[in-house]
């Protein structure tokens, strides 16, 4: 491999006391921390100490599991990130929110508010929420189809972009003498009249420091890739092998170019679950300890739902059944299903072993090793065109994040792979992305590619 | 009058650079402050220094006016209050949110998150949003009727209460040895199936420090009073005369009792716009200066809309027309319309004079005087059964709040009318209200009255 120029981008994906299913059972873990704002402030400060580009919170408007299984409280991310904005100064703040169960005016406004309050550090991870139980919290009896959800998502983002551009950057005159505060001519009401949404008026938040929040996406299905190539400025993705990650990376960059966008303005960040030890053996021991703490009986229903099969169809100490529903038949997380099936088949894993692998990272790459080995793995994917950076998913929080920041980041910095100080103020600056011009004041030809539709 | 026992409750109603229409034009005002989080943090700290019970933000999902008129940015309140939670320790945080343009699962969750993050300081001012332009931001061509809005609001609050009680207080077992985190038997999914909402599952936020956020309401119409008497724990209201305030106070307490509630658990807080001067003349001069700065041509459309008439029907230097639409014909802010009509008729004010009075407090009592006179006025209404405390609406921010806190509050404290230190930690404790029991675990007879429906 040859050394690729430029620097990595690193995002800290925070989740309760860690991404590992059983992290809460470790002696070190606080089993109440998942709803403790001080816990998250501490994590945010650790990530900022490491000069990471951003931190990120997943979300769904639903109680995900049986509460017997693991910590189940999830504070609403736009609210929690606002608290974290006050505890940090530079790090980007990315919140997940659903286009299926929100209204554009409300959500665009909340993200605009977060962008203003944080001084330009807000990002939106756009999801369509593939979960029947969530649908049942919003007047529905069925999960809208994958296609319907993406159709609504597309219009939702279009309306949001119109709302974020509904104030020009220079509306405010603040002319005290004449008593004229703003220039009404520079307000552009969307007057949007679409299939899913009719939104007439301008937002009641001025254009934000970033123009609009960074748009992030994580779908890897055909619909998901098209959506990401059109709108996403950063993509969180899950791959188990370098080859799969390269295929995805090339495909996304190609699709973005087809949409007339600069491929470098779409940052691809695969997830990695780093299990870090002073020695490889120590890292493996942590991995084994966490695997021992998974209760298969609570994890089995999750796997069955992902695969679209009955629990009774799965045998813990056998491989996956030969006949599984095809990706086309799944209305949920399509690409995640295929990733798990391929992993099981390729490595001939038993259901119990799959659960152990899933319990670590839910399909994301789990990597156990020394800090230098983790840094090597990250560089390897970066140099081989599989990633612009990584979505770091600490298996145990705060300890795995602390080790990553204090032990892996310095190696990447020494090797010239990662910043030693923040050079920008906004999330978009950290990712090397331009501030979009207001598309109401630029011609189509001159508009930044990210805003074309 | 005889001295009434107990102490006052005081809320700081924050609005940009002040409640007065023209406050932004004063030399002292920062005309960009309405979207500056540091401005609000400063205000929150001033209010907390004064040991006020709470602070409050109004809201609507709509760009209210022409931006020419006055500062028009409004950060979303649940997000802004989360930022203020981090800048304060004790003061309550009350956000307005609409039942007409939200979904219960999302909104109940955001308030639960704010209550958790703030350590039990969240309150929700429940509004139905009487504004056609807001409707047009949410797929509608018309404003739902007053009756329809209140019907939806009633079901919305019922569902929210079910969601806030969907976790028992003692769900979390955190049994690391057995691997059981929570007790599924203590999760109570709403399984709500109503006219406006179907919400099946439990919230994904545990029961909050306050049980649920303090419920606040501000409607004074017949529908509004019934709604408030049933649900509200604090009521913001607007009256110009002691007699009107007494009528409202008695009526609300009586209606609350009819709903089986303790009337003392519904705190009535009329709005007051205090214009404070070292002398009465100085206060009057501030009032006059602000009135001079109002531009009648931008205020006229607001008054016309409130009254349900055409702009051309109003003459700036004449009294209100004899024939105005009756309250029954108004689908907007019914009681506010009647208050303004009565004010104009009673004092024989010209339209220009009404605009000056409205510009100060939009129908709320404006009081110009020395700190001692303001304290006297507050005590007078309190002792005469017109108020349990006041909703303080500073005409200019921060200066009017600073003067109130530093000059009026000490007088009230000296007279034994107001706390000198916080004695509670939660918003509900500041208002002397009990933490509601979970109605899934108590019999109807034992349930706190506020939770009965």
- Predicted ipTM of the assembly: 0.93
Helix A371-383, helix A242-258: angle, nearest 10: 40
Helix (H, G, I), strand (E, B) or coil at A3: coil
* Beta bridge pairs of residue A271: A391
| B368, containing H or E segment | strand B365-369
> What are the structural domains, with CATH classification, of chain A?
9-275+365-451 (3.20.20.30)
- Which pLDDT does position A1 carry in this prediction? 58
Instruction: Please list every residue in chain B whose beta carbon sits closer than 8 Å to the beta carbon of residue A103.
Output: 101, 138
- pLDDT exceeds 60 at position A76: yes
Residue from the list B62, B174, B199 with its beta carbon closest to the beta carbon of A32: B174
- Which pLDDT does position A404 carry in this prediction? 98
**Which chain A residue is nearest to residue B137, measuring alpha carbons?**
A199
Annotated binding residue at B29? no
- Interfacial A residues in 32-91 facing B (CB < 8 Å): 32, 35, 37, 60-64, 66-76, 78-80, 82-83, 85-87
Q: Look over chain A and give the mean of its residue pLDDT values, rounded to a whole number.
A: 93
Contact state of B63 with A201 under an 8 Å Cβ cutoff: yes
- pLDDT exceeds 90 at position A32: yes
Of B371, B341, B367, the C-alpha closest to B354 is: B341
**Which chain B residue is nearest to residue A112, measuring alpha carbons?**
B75
Annotated binding residue at B220? yes
> What is the 8-class DSSP label of residue B182?
E
- pLDDT exceeds 80 at position A448: no
Contact state of A73 with B199 under an 8 Å Cβ cutoff: no
Query: Testing the interface with A: which of B124, B137, B164 to mutate, by most A Cβ within 10 A?
Result: B137
Query: Testing the interface with B: which of A72, A88, A156, A207 to mutate, by most B Cβ within 10 A?
Result: A72
Apex A242 CA angle, A239 and A248, nearest 5: 60
- Specify whether the CB–CB gap between B168 and B438 falls below 8 A: yes
Contact state of A24 with B174 under an 8 Å Cβ cutoff: yes
- Specify whether the CB–CB gap between B216 and B235 falls below 8 A: yes
Contact state of B172 with A82 under an 8 Å Cβ cutoff: no
- The number of beta carbons lying within 10 Å of the beta carbon of residue A327 is 15
**Which chain B residue is nearest to residue A174, measuring alpha carbons?**
B31
pLDDT (tens digit per residue) in B251-267: 999 999 999 999 999 99
Contact state of A137 with B200 under an 8 Å Cβ cutoff: yes
Contact state of B78 with A74 under an 8 Å Cβ cutoff: no
- Which pLDDT does position B1 carry in this prediction? 58
- Specify whether the CB–CB gap between B102 and B126 falls below 8 A: no
Contact state of A61 with B106 under an 8 Å Cβ cutoff: yes
- Specify whether the CB–CB gap between A73 and A62 falls below 8 A: no
- Specify whether the CB–CB gap between A68 and A298 falls below 8 A: yes
- pLDDT exceeds 60 at position A450: no
> What is the 8-class DSSP label of residue B213?
P
Phi, psi of B440 (to 5 degrees): -80, -15
Phi-psi region of B143 (alpha: psi -120 to 50; beta: other; left: phi over 0): beta
Phi-psi region of A422 (alpha: psi -120 to 50; beta: other; left: phi over 0): beta
Contact state of B67 with A198 under an 8 Å Cβ cutoff: no
What tokens were used for B407? 């000059």
Residue from the list A71, A110, A184 with its beta carbon closest to the beta carbon of B66: A184
* Cα A340 from chain centroid (whole Å): 19
Each residue's pLDDT expressed in tens, for chain B with a length of 453 residues: 589 999 999 999 999 999 999 999 999 999 999 999 999 999 999 999 999 999 999 999 999 878 999 999 999 999 999 999 999 999 999 999 999 999 999 999 999 999 999 999 999 999 999 889 999 999 999 999 999 999 999 999 999 999 999 999 999 999 999 999 999 999 999 999 999 999 999 999 999 999 999 999 997 888 899 999 999 999 999 998 999 999 999 999 999 999 999 999 999 999 999 999 999 999 999 999 998 999 888 888 888 888 889 989 999 899 999 888 887 877 667 777 888 898 899 999 999 888 888 777 677 888 999 999 999 999 999 999 999 999 999 999 999 999 999 999 999 999 999 999 999 999 999 999 999 999 998 644 444 444 433
Contact state of A174 with B66 under an 8 Å Cβ cutoff: no
d(CA A413, CA B355): 63
Residue from the list A114, A140, A298 with its beta carbon closest to the beta carbon of B79: A114
- Which pLDDT does position A368 carry in this prediction? 94
Instruction: Please list every residue in chain A whose beta carbon sits closer than 8 Å to the beta carbon of residue B82.
Output: 79-80, 82-83
Burial class (CB in 10 A: 0-12, 13-18, 19+), A178: exposed
Residue from the list B26, B74, B200 with its beta carbon closest to the beta carbon of A136: B200
Q: How many CB contacts within 8 angstroms connect chain A with chain B?
A: 214
- The number of beta carbons lying within 10 Å of the beta carbon of residue A380 is 13
Helix (H, G, I), strand (E, B) or coil at B264: helix
Contact state of A105 with B138 under an 8 Å Cβ cutoff: yes
pLDDT (tens digit per residue) in A388-434: 999 999 999 999 999 999 999 999 999 999 999 999 999 999 999 99
Of B104, B207, B141, the C-alpha closest to B436 is: B207
| B133, containing H or E segment | helix B132-135
Of B112, B425, B109, B385, the C-alpha closest to B264 is: B385
**Which chain B residue is nearest to residue A295, measuring alpha carbons?**
B179
- Specify whether the CB–CB gap between A80 and A108 falls below 8 A: no
* Beta bridge pairs of residue B274: B367
Question: What's the CA dihedral at A101, A104, A105, A110 to 10 degrees?
Answer: 70
What tokens were used for B234? 């604090």
Contact state of B68 with A182 under an 8 Å Cβ cutoff: yes
Instruction: Please list every residue in chain A whose beta carbon sits closer than 8 Å to the beta carbon of residue B20.
Output: none
Residue from the list A69, A138, A293 with its beta carbon closest to the beta carbon of B103: A138
> What residues of A are designated binding site for FMN?
59, 96, 146, 150, 220-221
* Cα A379 from chain centroid (whole Å): 21
Burial class (CB in 10 A: 0-12, 13-18, 19+), A403: buried
Long-range contacts of B36-40 (CB under 8 A, 24+ apart): B37/A116, B37/A117, B37/B75, B37/B80, B37/B83, B39/B397, B39/B398, B40/B14, B40/B80, B40/B83, B40/B84
pLDDT (tens digit per residue) in A217-263: 997 888 899 999 999 999 999 998 999 999 999 999 999 999 999 99
Of A34, A47, A81, the C-alpha closest to A393 is: A47
d(CA B222, CA B229): 11
- Specify whether the CB–CB gap between A302 and A340 falls below 8 A: no
Contact state of A74 with B35 under an 8 Å Cβ cutoff: no
Contact state of A136 with B198 under an 8 Å Cβ cutoff: yes
pLDDT (tens digit per residue) in A163-172: 999 999 999 9
* Cα A343 from chain centroid (whole Å): 22
- Specify whether the CB–CB gap between B257 and B263 falls below 8 A: yes
Q: What is the share, in percent, of chain A residues with pLDDT greater than 70?
A: 96
pLDDT (tens digit per residue) in A87-139: 999 999 999 999 999 999 999 999 999 999 999 999 999 999 988 999 999 99
**Which chain A residue is nearest to residue B72, measuring alpha carbons?**
A204
- Which pLDDT does position A451 carry in this prediction? 43
Give the CB-side neighbour count of residue A437, counting CA atoms within 13 A.
12
Look at the block and give the residue holding tokens 């309250």. B327
Annotated binding residue at B101? no
Residue from the list B22, B35, B198 with its beta carbon closest to the beta carbon of A205: B35
Q: Look over chain B and give the mean of its residue pLDDT values, rounded to a whole number.
A: 93
Cis geometry, peptide bond prior to residue A398 (ω within 30 degrees of 0): yes
Q: Which sign, positive or negative, has the C-alpha torsion A86, A87, A93, A99?
A: negative
How far is residue A331 from each of residues A135, A141, A307, A336, A352, measured CA to CA in Å?
13, 14, 11, 12, 25
Contact state of B136 with A198 under an 8 Å Cβ cutoff: yes
Contact state of A61 with B109 under an 8 Å Cβ cutoff: yes
d(CA B298, CA B364): 20
> What is the 8-class DSSP label of residue A173?
E
* Beta bridge pairs of residue B269: B236
pLDDT (tens digit per residue) in B149-194: 999 999 999 999 999 999 999 999 999 999 999 999 999 999 999 9
Residue from the list A60, A101, A182 with its beta carbon closest to the beta carbon of B72: A182
SS (H, E, C) A373-403: HHHHHHHHHHHCCCCCEEEECCCCCCHHHHH
- Give residues with Cβ within 8 angstroms of A150, minimum separation 6: A128, A219, A223, A224, A227
- Which pLDDT does position A405 carry in this prediction? 98
Of A102, A89, A105, A92, the C-alpha closest to A205 is: A105
Instruction: Please list every residue in chain A whose beta carbon sits closer than 8 Å to the beta carbon of residue B133.
Output: 200-201
**Which chain A residue is nearest to residue B202, measuring alpha carbons?**
A63
Is A176 in the B-facing interface, judged by CB distances under 8 Å?
yes
* Cα A60 from chain centroid (whole Å): 12
Q: β-strands A180-182, A172-175: how paired?
A: antiparallel
Is A209 in the B-facing interface, judged by CB distances under 8 Å?
no
- Which pLDDT does position A338 carry in this prediction? 86
Of A359, A352, A229, the C-alpha closest to A287 is: A359
**Which chain B residue is nearest to residue A106, measuring alpha carbons?**
B61
Burial class (CB in 10 A: 0-12, 13-18, 19+), A278: exposed
d(CA B231, CA B453): 9
- Give residues with Cβ within 8 angstroms of A12, minimum separation 6: A43, A47, A50, A52, A54, A55, A56, A392, A394, A401
- Specify whether the CB–CB gap between A197 and B140 falls below 8 A: no
Instruction: Please list every residue in chain B whose beta carbon sits closer than 8 Å to the beta carbon of residue A176.
Output: 24-27, 29, 31
- The number of beta carbons lying within 10 Å of the beta carbon of residue A254 is 11
- Which pLDDT does position B357 carry in this prediction? 81
What tokens were used for A114? 């977060």
- The number of beta carbons lying within 10 Å of the beta carbon of residue B449 is 16
Contact state of B183 with A110 under an 8 Å Cβ cutoff: no
**Which chain B residue is nearest to residue A136, measuring alpha carbons?**
B200
Is A22 in the B-facing interface, judged by CB distances under 8 Å?
yes
């Amino acid at each position: 491999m040859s050394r690729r120029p430029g620097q990595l981008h690193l995002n800290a994906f925070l989740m309760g006391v860690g991404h590992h299913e059983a992290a809460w059972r470790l002696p070190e873990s606080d089993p109440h921390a998942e709803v403790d704002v001080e816990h998250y402030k501490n994590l945010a400060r650790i990530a900022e100490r490491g000069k990471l580009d951003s931190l990120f919170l997943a979300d769904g408007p639903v109680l995900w599991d049986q509460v017997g299984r693991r910590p189940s409280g999830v504070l609403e991310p736009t609210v929690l990130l606002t608290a974290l904005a006050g505890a940090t100064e530079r790090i980007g703040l990315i919140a997940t929110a659903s286009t299926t169960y929100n209204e554009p005016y409300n959500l665009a406004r909340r993200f605009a508010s977060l962008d203003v309050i944080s001084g330009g550090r807000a990002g939106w991870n756009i999801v369509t929420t593939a979960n029947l139980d969530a649908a049942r919290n919003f007047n529905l009896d069925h999960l809208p189809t994958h296609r319907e959800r993406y159709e609504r998502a597309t219009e939702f983002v279009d309306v949001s972009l119109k709302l974020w551009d509904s104030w020009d950057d220079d509306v405010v005159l603040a002319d005290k003498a004449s008593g004229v505060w703003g220039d009404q001519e520079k307000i552009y009401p969307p007057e949007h009249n679409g299939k899913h949404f009719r939104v007439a008026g301008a937002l009641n938040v001025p254009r934000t420091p970033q123009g609009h929040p960074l748009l992030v996406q994580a779908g890897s299905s055909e619909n998901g890739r098209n959506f990401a190539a059109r709108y996403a400025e950063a993509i969180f993705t899950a791959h188990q092998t370098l080859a799969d990650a390269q295929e995805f990376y090339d495909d996304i960059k190609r699709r973005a170019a087809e949409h007339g966008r600069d491929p470098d303005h779409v940052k691809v960040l695969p997830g990695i679950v780093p299990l870090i030890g002073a020695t490889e053996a120590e890292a493996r021991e942590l991995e084994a300890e966490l695997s021992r703490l998974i209760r298969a009986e609570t994890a089995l229903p999750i796997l069955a739902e992902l695969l679209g099969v009955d629990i009774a169809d799965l045998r813990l100490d056998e491989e996956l059944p030969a006949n599984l529903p095809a990706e086309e038949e799944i209305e949920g997380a399509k690409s995640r299903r295929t990733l798990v099936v391929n992993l099981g088949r390729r490595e001939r894993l038993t259901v119990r072993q799959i659960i152990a692998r899933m319990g670590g990272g839910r399909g994301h790459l789990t990597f156990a090793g020394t800090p230098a080995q983790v840094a090597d793995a990250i560089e390897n994917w970066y140099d081989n065109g599989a990633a612009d950076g990584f979505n770091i998913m600490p298996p145990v929080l705060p300890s795995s994040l602390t080790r990553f920041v204090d032990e892996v980041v310095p190696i990447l910095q020494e090797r010239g792979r990662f910043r030693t100080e923040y050079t920008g103020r906004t999330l978009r600056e950290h990712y090397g992305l331009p501030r979009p011009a207001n598309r109401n004041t630029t011609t189509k030809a001159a508009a930044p590619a990210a805003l074309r539709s």
